[in-house]
Amino acid sequence: MAGKKKVVYVCSDCGFDTPKWQGKCPNCGSWNTMVEEVINDVKENNFAARTARRPMTAPVAISDVSTEHEQRVSTGLSELDRVLGGGMVKGSLVLVSGEPGIGKSTLLLQACRALCATGSVLYVTGEESLSQIKMRAQRLDINDSRLLIFAETELDAIIAAIEKTQPNMVIIDSIQTLFNAQVASTPGSVSQIRDCTMALMQYAKTHGVSIILVGHVNKDGGIAGPKVLEHMVDTVLNFEGERHASYRMLRAAKNRFGSTNEIGIFEMQEKGLVVVPNPSAAMLSGRPEGASGSCVTAVLEGTRPLLAEIQGLVTKSAYGSSRRTAAGVDYNRAMLLLAILEKRGGFMLSAYDAYINVVGGLTLDEPAVDLAVVMAIASSYLERPLLDGLAVFGEVGLSGEIRSVSGAAQRVSELARLGFSKCIVPRACIGQVTAAGIMCIGVSSIQEALQTGFSK
């Protein structure tokens, strides 16, 4: 007999449900996130039946738990392995998110080439046909009989296919297209995503099968679906970059098996994504010589130092109010630095439009880029280029002071490796930098940096 149906309102951000609609979620405080869903009020469904079939377990003393290193499998892409912490862990659940067309499916299909060497891989697609997957595989030169593709969106059919084929790895593209027939809501809803992810997570942990989920993003750039989705998975990877730019960046927002500070750099080419072994040189290629408004900085992404070019453009405002734009750096932080430059540096920027851009489509959120933003804007305002072979890094305080940053020695070593001859660093870090072939200049305020950074 069919169970009774009832209507609830579920928050799309946190998953909180209530029988009455409310404009503001009582749990997380988000506005206009309560979505109507119809659910079956039944005690027994397929999810409960699957849970009941799980073997009984008992508590184990922590002294009896093995501390051996988890089993990892290389994906064949060194940058992907770096972000994962050394490769895919057996029985892990990984979520990969990114903008449409950024290359998520291409990345995972390329990873299948190496993963098939250790066993079969099941690629489940809910958005494309089998012929479309085949066409992409041909373009990437992938034709391994151990790669199985399956066009299906029903949860029970997918689990049945996994049990039948017994693959070592499963890729679900995407989790928003899956649905459980026992849940009376549309695919992509909070209930469907939560139920399907929970079922896949339990299967992965019970049978030791690694599962990769592809997730959509919403208009704000966050992962679509309930926040509990990110809590359930072991690793959350964000694939970033401009669709029309060649470089892509892979970041780990969460990783139970490794660091969350590592990044991977890829370049989109005709034959797919190619690992960038020297991203600093790639990001600085084509940089103009002797141009104002350009400054190179060294950022630290996990254990990897990375050089980036920050450009600033200052023009006389044609309207009553000045315009501000920031791409690649936090907008509020950029506005704060403009205010500091005007107050502490004496630059009257209120009557000028200011534009800030990080070359290559990168997104930099480290405080060490503050000084580079200030120097790029000042260079454009004065129409004077910085010294040849100069790079800068340091955090800028509200009083105009330059504060120390971590990993100064690694940053300077990377600058010296790529041929930079001079570097402006926080004075507090001057004792940490000993790289040969580069002159380090310690400054304690933006006034000192501005006096030192420009040619006479």
Task: Say if residue 313 is in the same domain as residue 372.
Answer: yes
Total number of domains constituting the chain: 3
pLDDT in tens, the chain (456 residues): 455 567 888 887 777 888 888 888 888 888 888 887 776 554 444 544 554 455 566 788 888 877 665 688 899 898 899 899 889 998 999 999 988 888 899 999 999 988 998 889 999 999 899 999 999 999 999 989 999 999 999 999 999 999 999 999 999 998 999 998 888 778 888 888 888 999 999 999 989 899 999 998 877 667 777 778 888 999 999 998 776 677 888 988 899 988 887 888 898 888 889 988 888 888 888 888 888 999 999 998 877 888 999 999 999 988 778 899 999 999 999 999 999 999 999 898 988 999 999 987 788 889 999 999 999 999 999 999 999 999 999 999 999 999 999 999 999 999 998 889 999 999 999 988 877 789 999 999 999 999 999 865
3-class SS letters over the chain: CCCEEEEEEEECCCCCEECCCCCECCCCCCECCEEEEEEEECCCCHHHHHHHCCCCCCCCCHHHCCCCCCCEECCCCHHHHHHHCCCEECCCEEEEEECCCCCHHHHHHHHHHHHCCCCCEEEEECCCCHHHHHHHHHHCCCCCCCEEEEECCEHHHHHHHHHHHCCCEEEEECHHHCECCCCCCCCCCHHHHHHHHHHHHHHHHHHCCEEEEEECECCCCCECCCCHHHHHCCEEEEEECCCCCCEEEEEEEEECCCCCCCEEEEEEECCEEEECCCHHHHHHCCCCCCCCCEEEEEEEECCEEEEEEEEEEEEECCCCCCCEEEECCCHHHHHHHHHHHHHHHCCCCCCEEEEEEECCCCCCCCHHHHHHHHHHHHHHHHCCCECCCEEECCEECCCCEEECCCCHHHHHHHHHHCCCCEEEEEHHHCCCCCCCCCEEEEECEHHHHHHHHECC
Residues 273 and 326 occupy one common structural domain: no
pLDDT of amino acid 243: 66
What pLDDT does residue 1 have?
A: 43
User: Would you say residue 63 lies in a domain?
Assistant: no
- pLDDT for 183: 80
Residue-number span of the structural domain to which 219 is assigned: 70-277
**Within-domain flag for 50:** no
Same domain, 331 and 442: yes
Question: In this structure, what CATH number is given to the domain that contains residue 99?
Answer: 3.40.50.300
Q: What is the domain-level CATH number for residue 382? A: 3.30.230.10
